[in-house]
Amino acid sequence: MKPLKLGMVGGGQGAFIGAVHRIAARLDGQWQLVAGALSSDPQRAEASAQELGLDRNYADFRQMAQAEAARDDGIDAVAIVTPNHVHADPAIAFLEAGIHVICDKPLAATAEDAARIKAAAEALPTHFILTHNYTGYPMIRQAREMVQAGELGKLRLVQVEYAQDWLTEPTAPDNKQADWRTDPARSGAGAIGDIGTHAFNLAHFVTGEVPSHLAADLSSMVPGRLVDDNAHILLRYASGARGMLWASQVAVGNENGLRLRIYGDRGGLEWSQEHPNHLYVSGFGRPTQIVTRGSSAMTSLDAQRASRVPSGHPEGYLECFATLYNEAADLIRGKHDAGRLSPGLRDGLLGVSFVSGALSSAKGNGKWVRVKLY
């Protein structure tokens, strides 16, 4: 099968997540990067395109959307890997140009931007995919299937955390990654937006439930920081379940500590992103089992489809990201049942609800606020 054609907005030299998207798109051979508006700085855009061997280098994403839409061999989809406050404009431009959008998370820096994307995406037939990449891990899919099939019984507890330490100290002005993430105008929020949304989304993906209410205590531990770098959040579900969500970028010793624990009235499970090939599953009164990726105990077809090599050969972050690109390709190609698991607009809107709710609760001294559902 011929690879689909991919364009990219953002992701020029010095960026982090753009390179990840490129590897993810390439890994399973379903995508070929052919065009880009890789930077808002024309020189950097040009240099970045040359480095990547891209012939079709655009100085501007609007121009790119129009030009690519007009070509016979135009791109099938665009990857938007810009800072949060530059998601809405390119997303809308490509959606309107009839080009599918694969957008980095979170959906947007503001509720207004989110609403604009929503309006465009709902009005148009083009697909919108949001790269909540951790949903691509096979053992997360295994967990999802087990939880939603009731293997843990009635859901009681969701303990999710995403702990990092890279923002422990004030960041240098030339730290491109930290720069926009700690600027409220460009990021919308701090740890809750950057990683809290991942934790929130992962819990939702696995349990199928969204908390109806939350109460948040947000902190900026680093003096002078303008956004939260630590978030302590309590969750309540309409079903009676309860949860805790911790997101931190100042927890020294944690690199990318996304951990999920789910408990029902008959069982529990644990998973950690840094050791993603293992899922710990406990039935009440029975020994904990270590279910491994690729083994016969990985019974979920969704997990099997997201798995490439036999058990014991670790798959990691790039593979889980690549799975989202594969499923986007399947969706665009119109395969039967495709895109069922792809995070998209609704996940993005829930993420914005989560961030808005957390900011609102924090302003109200941690009062319980309703999470707007979609």
Q: How far is the CB of 203 from its own copies (least distance, A)?
A: 14
* Site of tokens 């090599």: 309
Candidates 243, 343, 344, 351; binder of its own copies (CB under 8 A) is 243
Candidates 261, 328, 332, 371; binder of its own copies (CB under 8 A) is 261
Q: Does 20 bind its own copies (CB under 8 A)?
A: yes
Choices 141-149, 286-294, 333-341, 351-359; region in contact with its own copies by CB under 8 A: 286-294
d(CA 331, CA 138): 19
Candidates 21, 22, 85, 105; binder of its own copies (CB under 8 A) is 22
Choices 76-84, 192-200, 278-286, 349-357; region in contact with its own copies by CB under 8 A: 278-286
Q: Does 254 bind its own copies (CB under 8 A)?
A: yes
Candidates 84, 126, 131, 230; binder of its own copies (CB under 8 A) is 230
Tell me which residues in 300-319 interact with its own copies (CB under 8 A): 308-319
Q: Does 297 bind its own copies (CB under 8 A)?
A: yes
Tell me which residues in 65-124 interact with its own copies (CB under 8 A): none
Phi, psi at residue 258, to the nearest 5°? Answer: -90, 115
Candidates 44, 176, 186, 266; binder of its own copies (CB under 8 A) is 266
Q: Which of 181, 166, 187 is nearest to 250 (CA)?
A: 166
Q: Does 263 bind its own copies (CB under 8 A)?
A: yes
Q: How far is the CB of 116 from its own copies (least distance, A)?
A: 31
Tokens of 85: 């406050």
Give the dihedral of Cα atoms 218, 176, 260, 214; nearest 10 deg: 30
Of 113 and 228, which CB lies nearer to its own copies in the complex structure? 228
Tell me which residues in 319-358 interact with its own copies (CB under 8 A): 319
| Complete DSSP assignment for 141-180 | HHHHHHHHTTTT-SEEEEEEEEE--TTSSPPPTT-HHHHH
Q: How far is the CB of 357 from its own copies (least distance, A)?
A: 14
Q: How far is the CB of 26 from its own copies (least distance, A)?
A: 6
Cβ–Cβ < 8 Å for 217, 231: yes
Choices 118-126, 141-149, 188-196, 281-289; region in contact with its own copies by CB under 8 A: 281-289
Of 131 and 254, which CB lies nearer to its own copies in the complex structure? 254
Q: Which of 289, 257, 292, 266 is nearest to 157 (CA)?
A: 266
Q: Does 62 bind its own copies (CB under 8 A)?
A: no
Q: How far is the CB of 142 from its own copies (least distance, A)?
A: 11
Q: Does 201 bind its own copies (CB under 8 A)?
A: no
Candidates 46, 67, 151, 280; binder of its own copies (CB under 8 A) is 280
Binders of its own copies: how many residues, by CB under 8 A? Answer: 91
Choices 35-43, 76-84, 105-113, 261-269; region in contact with its own copies by CB under 8 A: 261-269
Of 113 and 229, which CB lies nearer to its own copies in the complex structure? 229
> How far, in whole angstroms, is CA 336 from its chain's centroid?
24
Q: How far is the CB of 86 from its own copies (least distance, A)?
A: 22
Q: Which residues contact 315 (CB under 8 A, 6 or more apart)?
A: 138, 276, 277, 293, 307, 308, 309
Signed CA dihedral, 27, 273, 79, 174: sign only? negative
Burial of 173 (0-12, 13-18, 19+ CB in 10 A): exposed
Of 91 and 199, which CB lies nearer to its own copies in the complex structure? 199
Q: Does 225 bind its own copies (CB under 8 A)?
A: no
* Site of tokens 């009635």: 154
Task: List, as own/partner pairs, every contact residues 116-120 make where C-beta atoms lie below 8 angstroms and the sequence separation is at least 24, other chains included.
Answer: 116/88, 116/92, 117/87, 117/88, 117/91, 117/92, 117/345, 117/348, 118/345, 118/349, 120/91, 120/92, 120/95, 120/96
Q: How far is the CB of 1 from its own copies (least distance, A)?
A: 6
Cβ–Cβ < 8 Å for 116, 92: yes
Cβ–Cβ < 8 Å for 96, 26: no
